[in-house]
């Protein structure tokens, strides 16, 4: 074997190793974009939570959140944090309009495909969650990629106005959590430059009517008021309101995962 061939093989091995060497502190490369991932102790997750960051936040910060990291690891799950292209996600109705060169739906498709190929993650047990603008991404994923995740758990996010009249991929299970005094993404929405954040309640009602969900049933537990609507094929649409403002909370992530497990019979 010539020196040239040996050198080429060495470069290939190094490149392959670099491609695989990604985790909570290093980027996983998907095309020109990245995500980060943390596996639970033992490295054999039973599933995963994909957690989308908010505006001007990063995947690295999601991974650095010790409370979130501990909660997801305690569930025996992998934590996947995709990175937006720019300060935020590219969503219909946003200020300034859509950026035509960025397809975040296709990017999330690629992240899920890459993560389940690289790591021992059950693709049928992945929940999509996100905070603030990341929650807005999750609402759009539920509408445009209903079959990609086992369920969708947005926190403190909604559609930009106008919300869609219908969704091309069918209804999904959505477990939404929101603070009643959220000043950043108010329940009733607010105007930002040339755009308007939609009403959370209106989004839920419109999704319920379009998706064929039943009348809401209210449950009250300490610190939480939830309205749940059962839907076709065992799907659930739930809005849970808690006291407080604009906060990403591990307890809400854990509750959504456990509720999703009950809904899906895990």
Which whole number is the average pLDDT over 24-50? 96
Domain ranges of the chain: 23-264
Confidence grade of residue 133 (pLDDT, cut at 50, 70, 90): very high
pLDDT above 90 (res 10): no
Which whole number is the average pLDDT over 213-231? 97
pLDDT digits (tens, 9 = 90+) for 142-168: 999 999 999 999 999 999 999 999 999
Better-scored residue on pLDDT, 5 or 73 = 73
Confidence grade of residue 20 (pLDDT, cut at 50, 70, 90): low
Better-scored residue on pLDDT, 6 or 166 = 166
Tokens encoding 168: 């091309």
Task: Note the pLDDT of residue 21.
Answer: 82
What is the DSSP code string of the chain? --HHHHHHHHHHHHHHHHHH--SSSSPEEETTEEEEEEPPTTS--SEEEEEE--TT--HHHHHH-HHHHHHHHHTTEEEEEE--SSSS---TT-TT---TT--HHHHHHHHHHHHHHHS---TTSEEEEEETHHHHHHHHHHHH-TTTSSEEEEES--PBSSPPS--TT----EEEEEETT-SSS-TT--EETTEEBPPHHHHHHHHHHHHT----EEEEETTEEEEEEE-GGG-EEEEEEESSSS---HHHHHHHHHHHHHHHT-
Task: Note the pLDDT of residue 6.
Answer: 37
Please state, in angstroms and rounded to a whole number, the distance separating the CA atoms of residues 142 and 128: 9
Question: Distances from the Cα of 162 to the Cαs of 77, 100, 200, in angstroms?
Answer: 35, 19, 12
Confidence grade of residue 43 (pLDDT, cut at 50, 70, 90): confident
Task: Note the pLDDT of residue 153.
Answer: 98
Task: Note the pLDDT of residue 15.
Answer: 37
pTM recorded for the entire structure: 0.92
Mean pLDDT, rounded, of the chain = 93
Please state, in angstroms and rounded to a whole number, the distance separating the CA atoms of residues 144 and 137: 10
Report whether CATH 3.40.309.10 matches the domain 23-264: no
pLDDT digits (tens, 9 = 90+) for 98-128: 999 999 999 999 999 999 999 999 999 999 9
pLDDT above 60 (res 72): yes
């Amino acid at each position: 074997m010539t020196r040239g061939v040996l050198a080429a093989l060495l470069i290939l091995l190094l490149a392959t190793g670099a491609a695989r060497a990604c985790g909570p502190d290093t980027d996983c490369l998907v095309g020109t974009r990245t995500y980060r991932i943390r596996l639970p102790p033992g490295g054999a997750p039973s599933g995963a939570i994909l957690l989308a960051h908010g505006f001007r936040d990063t995947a690295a910060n999601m991974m650095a959140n010790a409370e979130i990291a501990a909660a997801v690891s305690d569930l025996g799950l992998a934590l996947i944090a995709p990175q937006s292209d720019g300060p935020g996600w590219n969503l219909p109705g946003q200020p300034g309009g859509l950026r035509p060169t960025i397809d975040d739906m296709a990017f999330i498709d690629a992240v899920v495909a890459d993560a389940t190929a690289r790591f021992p993650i059950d693709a049928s047990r992945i929940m999509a969650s996100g905070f603030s603008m990341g929650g807005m991404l999750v609402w759009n994923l539920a509408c445009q990629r209903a079959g990609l995740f086992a369920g969708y758990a947005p926190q403190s996010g909604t559609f930009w106005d106008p919300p869609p009249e219908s969704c091309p991929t069918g209804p999904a299970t959505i477990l939404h959590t929101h603070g009643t005094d959220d000043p950043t993404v108010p329940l009733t929405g607010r105007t930002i430059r040339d755009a308007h954040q939609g009403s959370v309640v209106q989004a839920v009602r419109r999704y319920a009517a379009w998706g064929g969900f039943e009348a809401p049933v209210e449950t009250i537990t300490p610190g939480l008021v939830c309205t749940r609507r059962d839907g076709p094929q065992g799907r659930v649409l739930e809005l849970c309101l808690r006291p407080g403002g604009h906060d990403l909370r591990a307890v809400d992530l854990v509750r959504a995962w456990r509720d999703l497990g009950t809904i899906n019979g895990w």
